[in-house]
Structure 1
Amino acid sequence: MRSNDIHQLELTPLAERSWRLCDRSVAGSDAASVIAYVEQLDTGGYEAVWVSVGIGCVRFTSIEALFRAALRLIEQSGSLGPFKPSPIPHRPPAHA
């Protein structure tokens, strides 16, 4: 991870203890710019719900750990290249 990679990430406040984690290297009008929704837990940790990279919910003990995980997921998703959908086999029409 390069030291300036962290600056491509931005936390946008949604409420007192919740944020949207965005990738500033993607246009703000592009839905792919939203990486996760983050909430601060009563325990002091953070829970991220990944939306454009990764899958599911993950808990972190610090914002720094969350940012490192987000950067890893961004890097992994970029190395996979563009996704081509799998073709759906044609099903013959139902007969009446």
Structure 2
Amino acid sequence: MTMTAPEPPRPASVWEVIPIARTAWRICDSALTETDASRLVAYVDRNETGTYDVLWLRSPCPTRSRYRDLDELLADLDAADAAGPVSRATRPNSIPHFPPRL
């Protein structure tokens, strides 16, 4: 007989989506205090085509800046936050260099 443990409850999201206009929001990290400048994570704006454009203000942040909906954006932000900060001490991805064409 096998027994499985029940799914642990999902933690409440730390991201706070605050409307600042009819088609604009800001995303804040609710785990930080109101006086902490790094609390502000991003600005989001819905454009004419219905997609969401994001201006990321801190790291870690996803590599994308355009999303179909806010749920997709927040899921991507959760994944980037879970991956942890990227160290600036590491070398960037190398770009292959080829000799000039003659």
Moved over 3 A (4+): none
Tell which structure's C-alpha radius of gyration is larger. Answer: 2
Structure 1: runs of 5 or more not aligned = 85-96
Aligned positions of 1:26-65 closer than 5 A: 26-53=32-59, 54=61, 58-65=65-72
Tell me if the contact between 1:8 and 1:23 (Cα under 8 Å) persists in the aligned partners.
yes
More helix by share: 1
Structure 2: runs of 5 or more not aligned = 1-8, 90-102
CA RMSD of aligned residues (A): 2.5
Tell me if the contact between 1:37 and 1:49 (Cα under 8 Å) persists in the aligned partners.
yes
SS at match of 2:81: helix
Instruction: Tell me the TM-score normalised to structure 2 length.
Output: 0.64
Aligned positions of 1:14-29 closer than 5 A: 14-29=20-35
Q: RCO higher in 1 or 2 (8 Å CA, sep ≥ 6)?
A: 1
Percent identity over paired residues: 22
Number of aligned residue pairs: 80
Instruction: Tell me the TM-score normalised to structure 1 length.
Output: 0.68
